[in-house]
Amino acid sequence: MFTPGRIAFIIVFFSIFIIYLIWAYRKDIQKSPWYFKGSLKIALALFATYAAYFILTRWVV
């Protein structure tokens, strides 16, 4: 199903992709910090919602 070459490609691709996203985000936040005001709160709210959904579905079922 997944050969060692495919697994290595996936790991390298996602690593480079995540590094690029972080770099682009930091570059954009320096240009216009007003757009990113409160983005940490939104990210935490999304994570909390996902965690609550995951916990409740595992706990109830």
Q: Whole-number mean pLDDT of the chain?
A: 90
At residue 34, does pLDDT exceed 70? yes
More confident residue, 28 or 48: 48
Per-residue pLDDT, averaged over 24-51, amounts to 89
Nearest Cα to Cα of residue 3 among 25, 60, 11: 11
Number of domains observed in the structure of the chain = 1
Which residue, chain included where needed, has tokens 């939104």? 42
Identify the band that residue 61 occupies on the pLDDT scale cut at 50, 70 and 90.
Answer: low
Identify the band that residue 15 occupies on the pLDDT scale cut at 50, 70 and 90.
Answer: very high
Domain that holds residue 36: 4-60
